[in-house]
Each structure stands twice: as structure tokens, then as C-alpha cells.
Chains A and B, each alone.
Chain A
Amino acid sequence: MIMGKEKAIPIIAMVVLFIGIFSTIYVDANQVEKDTIEIYGRNFSLDQLFSDGVERTIETDEGEKTGISLEDIIINVGIGCVQCHDYTIKAKDGYQQTVSWDILKTGIITDHNRVFFPDTAHSFWVRDVIEIEVI
């Protein structure tokens, strides 16, 4: 028996609401609270990254942004062949973006824990970073 629109539409709407509610609960329960950034198996605080690195200013379409160069950070953690890998930048809310070395080396991380790149879409500007995974 084919269900009519008058029955199907309210049922689909209820399913949609349930999906939204359960996803909200799931996201809230799985929020990662972390003050450090894991890079290549080591944890760094933002203060540590800023005290070890040299600040750099880049020009974005939202103006100048200043922070520590991601190129310096990755080289300093001791990855042998930096251009042989891609890098996944992960945020505490589950958001993540993967970039090549050519893109990563142009980026910075600011003291507000946000990554910026000069020439990418804003979707690559990950905020509240908890990990840079080398893949």
C-alpha cells in the first residue's frame, strides 16, 4: 500500500526533528575539551607554540592575520619529508579539513587558536584546533 502525502509528510517531519534532536545530543556529549594541540604524537599548548616560534603576518581577504607559521611548527616537530604528507587540521567540535603541504606551509595559527590561510576558502580556516594529524 502506498502511503498518501497527508500521512507521509508529517511522519517525515517528525523523523527530521528526531534526527536533529539526537544529533544535537550526540554532538554535545562528544564535545572534546582540550587545551593543547596534538601534532605528530606530541601535545603543545598555544603558549608553547608562540614561545617557540616566530610570528608571521599574512594577508587574507579579511585583512591581515598574525600568528605562528604552520610551516615552522611542522618542521620543528621533526617530520622527515614534510612535502610527502597531507595534514588534517581537527577542531574540538569535530570539524576537520585536510590540506597538502603546499597549502599548509602558507598558513598560520593565531593566539585565538584559529588557523588561517591566505589563498583558500574560509572553510579551511579551522577554529579551536585540537590536532594536526599527519597522514
Chain B
Amino acid sequence: MSNLKLLAGVLVFGSLWGFSECIIGSSLSETGLPTGAIMTGFFAITFLLISRMTYKKPGMQLGMGVVAGALRLFNPFVGCHLCSALAIMAEGAIFEIIWYNISFDFRELKPITMQISMGIISAYFVYIGGYIITQILTPIVSGSGFFVGNLVAFMPNILASGLITALIGGFVLPAVILTKKVDLRLQDRLYYPTTIGISAFCWIFVVGYWFILV
């Protein structure tokens, strides 16, 4: 696979992830549901797993986190761009670390118990890792300074909030592995127009919509 093809894959999956965080995440937060847990447990883990299963390249999920975080950062719909952008970028990096020793064809994950277990572990650590990193980096980046006591006092809540994400992840991973049998490959002549088209749609919809409204 060429680097350009991989880059297009990073762009499209990162954009889809960022799009879901900005549009679906913003809508969900108004319903009072645990938005962060659902967004990570379902959407983030789904995109991260499908991309890993399809492209089989290390570093791709890290790149997706950067693209999705960047889209979140430029999202004009809601505030707190910095906190969630940092969390998303961290989530991509943490996923890479967790999956570092797992083969790209997922051969270790044949038994369903392994699939559920890996789903639980991935979703939980990706979520709480992103949460902790944003709690540390946001005060630093915004110039207010980080106080370790604030993080320690809130740690039980962070650890507790990952439980829903872990349970969602336990269902999502086996479901994504089931789709392995579906051939989603595109013909070469359609690959770049499709990936660039979907990415452009995500960015234009999220960033450009505000300008249309104004």
C-alpha cells in the first residue's frame, strides 16, 4: 500500500471520527446521556478498529486522532474545543499503545471472550486515558497551570465514568470483527475521489456550516 493511499485513509477515518464527535456528540450532549462514554465506546472504537482491520498499518490510528482532534478544534458549533480536541488526539495515541502487540489480522482474538475482553480494555483505557490527559493538558495549554490535587480529587469519577464505555466496547469489538467478512475495498480509480470527497464533506459540513448560518 502506498503512503499516499494510507494518508487518504487516515484523512477519511479521522474526518469521520471528528464529524461524529462534532455533530452527533453535540446533539447527544443535549439529551443528558453520557456523551463522552458513548462517543468513545461506540464511534471512536468502531472507526479505530475498522481502520486497523482494513489498512493493517501501525501509526494510522495516531494520525486519525490528530485529524479528528483538529476537526474538533475548528468546530464552531460548541465551545471547549481545546479540551475535547486534546482528548481525541490522546485517544488515538492510547489505542496505538494498547494494540501494539496485537497482530493486524486479529488472529489472537478468535475466541469471543478475547474479543469482548479486548473491547472492554480498549474502550476503558482509551476513554479514561483521554479524560486524564485532557485534565492535565487543558489547564497547562490554557495558561492556568495544572494542580495535581484537582486531578487526584476527581480520579474516582474518571475511573467510574469509564465503566459504561468499557461495556459498550465489549459489544462493539465483536460486532466490528463480524464485518471482516464484508469486502469494503474500493476500486483504485474510485479510492481517492471517494476518500477525499467524504473527508471534504465532513470538514465543509462542520467548519463551513457556521459561515452559512452567519
Interface residues of A (CB under 8 A from B): 5-6, 9-10, 12-14, 16-17, 19-21, 23-24, 26-27, 30, 60-62, 88, 90, 93-100, 103, 120-124
Contacts and interface: CB of A to CB of B under 8 A. Distances in A.
Given A61-B79, A103-B144, A9 B160 contact: no
Given A20-B160, A27-B160, A60 B79 contact: yes
Nearest to A95: B154
Contacts of B113: 10
B197 interface: no
21 contacts: A5-B101, A5-B102, A9-B117, A9-B118, A13-B120, A16-B124, A16-B125, A17-B120, A17-B166, A20-B162, A20-B163, A20-B166, A27-B156, A88-B147, A88-B150, A90-B153, A94-B153, A121-B138, A122-B79, A123-B135, A124-B144
Interface residues of B, number: 38
Given A23-B156, A26-B160, A62-B78, 20 more contacts: A5-B101, A9-B108, A9-B121, A16-B124, A16-B125, A20-B160, A20-B162, A21-B163, A24-B163, A26-B156, A27-B160, A60-B79, A94-B153, A96-B153, A99-B144, A120-B142, A120-B144, A121-B139, A123-B138, A124-B142
